[in-house]
A = this chain, B = another copy of it.
């Protein structure tokens, strides 16, 4: 199974040659580096989507480019992902599928769904979303230029993971409330095509299709790659400029000079339990979606230079309930109240539960919904924990306050009968009064209901420059992917992490190649 989030599916599957240790993340002075073992113009640290994008653009800008990867192969969390790239504005694929979209419409959806829900979007987030949307069409063309295959078919059904022979799908609640009132709904998950019969596994899923084509393209451009090598520290001149890295391979220290710049694309911090507890307790104890490489070191070695971080508390939160079951069901909290339209993006449902509902909710449905939940294509097969003739019985068994779930269902059913959901605005096609026998199961961390990865990280400009806490770029230092804070911010969309990683990785690589010092 692959995962819908545009990121990885399975924790700790990356083959990593060296575990993180407690050695210092502080920089080494260039004056202390006696000799350089390897040299390049641009050194990219981590070969996932962001690293691939950075390497390609650095090489195209004429830089002698080297990628250092901890694991034994290309991919990172991007390689484990479902291969969704969130882009739009009227891409060739959208047009081929008959979908209308414009950069403005794309932006209206993106800023609303990824910005804060209380308070304005910061200027840096606005700028990043603007650039991302303005260049959405050419971004897709760029992906295609590397031979990544896309089927010109749009999947319009309820799912977190479209069937293999569809290239475009909904992945961010675009056609659900409230986003459907803020922008004209358009599907924007551009899904790499996986040959039929190919096992959908982390080793050969759609995310790996994307990485295979991008890394082939990078290789054709002369990008060099070193595997099984872990970046441990940055090397700085006395004026603060970053001029290389200290790495480790099979226990041996390796010094790597970067004549123009270093691009940090080393993933997030989900396999660092101390950082997870410190920053993101809601995601702590969930199914962690990434590789061992996501140990936070890429973030810390920049912070040691005074780099700023942001949104360290935020995480992507997939809820592991299949859409065909979830969307016609209701999801209620411990008080028996609904709190979100169930037909929205599953990552939004998940974030609501972990960040707003103390990590516990219940899916409540009925026999008819369960019978219509197709066995084929189930990603997260789920059976009812309770089946009851009456809501009163279900309240007792599941521990709801007496009468509370009944009141919720009375209100829901009354309006669902008219195809309406005045409180949460679920679409009419998923509205039907629930009727006996009723069923439910709990949705909690302990039951493995959530898949998470971190989305906070280094504060960067849209150019990929890493910002010092004084607001100025740190010379010679760039970042992308989940080492940086990007498009996924307060909210999330499937494909926005991989999409952001490649896109802003490209910006970072080009910026590094063009850095004059």
A interface with B by C-beta (< 8 Å): 22, 24-26, 115-124, 240, 274, 277-285, 300, 303-306, 308-314, 335-337, 354-356, 358-359, 401-404, 407, 410-411, 414, 422-424, 445, 459, 468-472, 490
A119's partner among B22, B117, B310, B359 (CB-CB below 8 A) is B359
A470's partner among B24, B119, B283 (CB-CB below 8 A) is B24
Contact across chains for A356 and B356 when beta carbons are under 8 A apart: yes
List, in ascending order, chain B residues with CB within 8 A of A303's CB: 303, 306, 308, 469
List, in ascending order, chain B residues with CB within 8 A of A424's CB: 335
Contact across chains for B305 and A306 when beta carbons are under 8 A apart: yes
Min Cβ gap A440→B in Å is 17
Min Cβ gap A235→B in Å is 15
A118's partner among B118, B122, B314, B355 (CB-CB below 8 A) is B355
- The docked-state distance in angstroms from the alpha carbon of A310 to that of B281 is 12
Contact across chains for A470 and B306 when beta carbons are under 8 A apart: no
With A118-B282, A304-B306 already in contact, 11 other A-B pairs whose C-beta atoms are closer than 8 Å? A22-B470, A24-B470, A119-B281, A119-B282, A119-B283, A278-B310, A300-B469, A304-B470, A313-B314, A335-B424, A404-B423
Min Cβ gap A396→B in Å is 12
Which 7 residue pairs of A and B lie closest in terms of their CB atoms, listed nearest first? A119-B281, A118-B359, A116-B281, A401-B422, A122-B277, A304-B306, A119-B284
Contact across chains for A304 and B469 when beta carbons are under 8 A apart: yes
Contact across chains for A471 and B278 when beta carbons are under 8 A apart: no
Which residue of the partner chain B has the closest CB to A333? Answer: B339
- The docked-state distance in angstroms from the alpha carbon of A422 to that of B395 is 12
Which residue of the partner chain B has the closest CB to A285? Answer: B119
Contact across chains for A310 and B279 when beta carbons are under 8 A apart: yes
Which residue of the partner chain B has the closest CB to A308? Answer: B303
- Which of A281, A410, A424 has the largest number of chain B CB atoms within 10 A? A281
List, in ascending order, chain B residues with CB within 8 A of A279's CB: 310
Contact across chains for B490 and A25 when beta carbons are under 8 A apart: no
Contact across chains for A124 and B312 when beta carbons are under 8 A apart: no
Contact across chains for B407 and A410 when beta carbons are under 8 A apart: yes
Min Cβ gap A224→B in Å is 30
User: Can you list 21 pairs linking A and B with CB atoms under 8 Å apart?
Assistant: A116-B282, A118-B282, A119-B280, A119-B282, A120-B281, A120-B284, A122-B274, A122-B278, A274-B471, A278-B310, A281-B490, A300-B470, A303-B303, A355-B355, A356-B356, A401-B422, A402-B422, A403-B411, A403-B414, A403-B422, A407-B411
Min Cβ gap A202→B in Å is 26
Which residue of the partner chain B has the closest CB to A402? Answer: B422
- The docked-state distance in angstroms from the alpha carbon of A284 to that of B119 is 6
- The docked-state distance in angstroms from the alpha carbon of A468 to that of B423 is 47
Contact across chains for A118 and B306 when beta carbons are under 8 A apart: no
List, in ascending order, chain B residues with CB within 8 A of A445's CB: 118-119
Contact across chains for B404 and A422 when beta carbons are under 8 A apart: yes
- The docked-state distance in angstroms from the alpha carbon of A122 to that of B313 is 13
List, in ascending order, chain B residues with CB within 8 A of A354's CB: 118
List, in ascending order, chain B residues with CB within 8 A of A459's CB: 278
A423 touching B336 in the complex, CB below 8 Å, given contacts A123-B277, A303-B306, A404-B411? yes
Contact across chains for B26 and A306 when beta carbons are under 8 A apart: yes
- The docked-state distance in angstroms from the alpha carbon of A396 to that of B124 is 39
- The docked-state distance in angstroms from the alpha carbon of A70 to that of B359 is 43
